[in-house]
Structures are given as structure tokens and as C-alpha cells.
Amino acid sequence: MSQFSPRVLSGMQPTGNLHLGNYLGAMLNWIKMQSTHETLYCVVDLHAITVWQEPKELRKAIRDVTAAYIACGLDPKRSIIFNQSRVHEHAELAWVFNCVARLGWLNRMTQFKEKAGKDKEKASVGLYVYPNLMAADILIYRATAVPVGEDQKQHLELTRDIAQKFNIDFADEIREQGFGDAYFPLTEPIITGPATRVMSLRDGTKKMSKSDPSDLSRINLTDSADDIARKIRKAKTDADGLPSEVKGLEARPEAENLVGIYAALAGSSVDGVLREFGGGQFSSFKNALADVAVAKLSPITEEMNRLLADSAYIENVLADGAARAGAIAAPIMHDVKKIVGLI
Ligand code: TRP
């Protein structure tokens, strides 16, 4: 799709703390892409309110996640950093997409089924159309690539389906108005984090998640060095020691997870980690893992706290980001309205 210049957008919800899974699975990629692409990173506060959020906590969480973005290495000069709700075109385009996407498409979304739980009748309508808003987040900038975790693949497919249906349904207008044969790009998901799936420290078959009731299951970016070391020491393992070959990790999800985390944090490979620690006991490997985790994460925690102490700074980043994002979004929303026939 050469007619679209490369542009990257991604986002995370301001609910709960960011954790090691967010950092290794997504952020490292986001940071890297800053040097090769035009990048926009948003805090998706409109997505957060698809389930109940206490307003006081939401306000704080939006600022916290913004600080975490910057502390991890997103640079507000190189990237556009903003919160979704300040750029009203996201919500506006989402409405148009509510009218493009089909009920049958949304009915297939597995994340809705998981989040809505047993009593679907009580889920908000917003939770149901969540993927349409996500498509709008991406396409309001005509973004060509979206770095996300594995679990978002299905939403990216829906985004492409929406783009394609829009391009086909309005093909005549798109052509007549001089936009060629497609107005929206078919956005590519980019799922190549060094550890795209960081699993729970309590159960190696479940993703590390901010909604897990056990705080021992995850390492938060705000955890102290002591917390990090304690959680790693308590991490579930099996009775065997560390294998010296990758094959030996098969069907041992907890061992595989810890080795994967070490490799990602140390910038090495699973092979390399096993060469160094294979044949040894978990206890000494866990000490080494705690050291590397603390070394990587405590500067992030400190920087986050430093940034949060200056609330004007975060506010300025978000205001500036929203202005820059809005400058891209406004003409695209204008085009969309014209294409659709809204006067
Ligand atoms: N749904 C994504 C998640 O839960 C968050 C998100 C919302 C997003 N809008 C987006 C991610 C746009 C990438 C691009 O992780």
C-alpha cells in the first residue's frame, strides 16, 4: 500500500499499573519504532470506561500511564503522546465505523466474550463496540502499522475488515474525490516483542495481567526492588532444575516463562540463558533474574516518580500531544464526512 506513508499508532488502557508484560511485550517495540517511523502513542481512556472506572482513579491512572510511557523511553518530542479522549475525532470516526462494521463481526470477538463474562446482558454497549473504537484510533491517522500483543490480533483483523468495507462501500466517492482506489490503508499488526507473551508468575499458562487478583502474579513498573525480588523468589516453578537445552522447557510453562523473561531483560536469547544457567537450581537462577529485573526496572520506577512529582509536565505533554494528534486527525475526519455524504 505504497500510497500511504508509514505511520505507527498504538495504545494502552489506563487501568491498573503497567507491568513487566506490557514493558517486554509491547513497549520495547514501541520505543524502537520511534527511530524508524512517525509514531503516535495514546492512553486509551475511552476504552477504559467500557467497564466501570472510579473517576478519581481514572484521572490518576491516565497521568500514571503517561509517566510510565515516558519513563520507559517514549520521547514526547519524537512521538506524539496523548490521551484518546482529548482528540474528539476518535469518537467521531468510531460512530461512522459503528455503521460500517457488522453485528456478525463483533459477535466473533473473543475479548468481548471474556470481558463480558457470563451475564452479557449486563455488559455496557461500549464494551461490545470497543473494537470499532480501536479501529477508529488507528484509522483516524491512517496508521499503517500497529505494534500490539498477541491478544490484539483479532481486533487488528477487524480493523482491516472495516477499512476494506469502507473502501469498497464508498469506492465511487473515494475515486471521484481524488483519493485513488482506497481511502484507508490495511493496517499491519506488528507482533514481534522479545517476549510477546509474558505469563503470570503464579501460573505459566495465563498471561501476566493487571486484572489478576494476585499481585504476586505480576511485576508492576511501580514495584520496589524488594517487591520485585520477593515476587521472583515466590514465582511458581516445577521440581526439576533448569535444563541445558530449549527442548527441556517443553511442557514446563513456568520454567519457560522465567527463562524468557530473563532473556528479554538481559537482551540475550533463551539458548544463551540456558547455556549460562542450565543444569543449575532454580533458586540461584531466580537470584540472577531478580538482579537483572531490578537493574532494568528500578530506573524506570524512579523516573516515573520524578515525572509524577511535576504534574504540570505531564499535563503539558498531553496537551501538546493532543494538539499534534488533532492536527493529523481533523483533515482525515473532514475527508471521511465528505466521502460518506455528511454535509
Ligand atoms: N485494545 C488494546 C488493548 O487492550 C488497546 C488499544 C485501544 C489499542 N486502541 C488501540 C492498541 C489502538 C493498539 C491500537 O491492549
The residue ranges of DSSP E strands in 172-212, in sequence order, are 188-190
Measured from the CA of 155, which atom of ligand 1 is nearest? Answer: 1
Q: Which residues of the chain have a pLDDT value below 70?
A: 1-2, 193-196
As a whole number of angstroms, the distance between CA 316 and CA 118 comes to 42
What's the gap in Å between 134 CA and the centre of ligand 1? 6
Residue 13 CA: which ligand 1 atom is closest? 5
Partner residues linked to 39 by β-bridges: 8, 79
| Marked catalytic residue, from 118, 120, 165, 207 | 207
Closest CA to 217 of 201, 228, 203: 201
Averaged pLDDT of the chain: 94
Q: Look up 207 and say whether it is catalytic.
A: yes
**Amino acid letter, 265:** L
Of 115, 165, 236, 296, the catalytic one is 115
pLDDT of residue 87: 98
**Mutate which of 9, 155, 156, 160 for ligand 1 pocket (most atoms within 8 A of beta carbon):** 155
Q: What is the pLDDT, as a whole number, of residue 1?
A: 46
Structure confidence at residue 241 (pLDDT): 87
Best probe residue, ligand 1, of 45, 111, 148 (max atoms within 8 Å of C-beta): 148
Q: Which of 165, 210, 236, 296 is catalytic?
A: 210
SS3 breakdown of the chain: % helix, strand, coil, rounded to 5? 60, 10, 35
Query: Taking the CA atoms of the chain, what radius of gyration do you get in angstroms?
Result: 21
What is the CA 224 to chain-centroid distance, rounded?
A: 23
Residues 199-233: pLDDT tens digits? 999 999 998 988 899 999 999 998 999 999 999 99
First to last CA, the chain: 29
- Note the pLDDT of residue 2: 56
- Residue 333 C-alpha cell reads as 475526519
A 10 A CB-CB count for 73 gives 16
Given ligand 1 and candidates 44, 49, 90, which is best to mutate, with the most ligand atoms within 8 Å of its CB? 44
**What is the pTM for the complete model shown?**
0.93
Is 296 in the active site?
A: no
Q: Which pLDDT score is estimated for 239? A: 85
Q: How far, in Å, is the centroid of ligand 1 from the Cα of 310?
A: 27
- Phi/psi of residue 152, nearest 5 degrees: -100, 0
Consecutive H or E run containing 183: none
Each residue of 161-197: pLDDT tens digit? 999 999 999 999 999 999 999 999 999 999 875 556 7
- Residues with CB under 6 Å of ligand 1 are 9-13, 44, 47, 134, 137-138, 146, 148, 152, 155
How far is Cα 85 from Cα 90, in angstroms, rounded to an integer?
Answer: 8
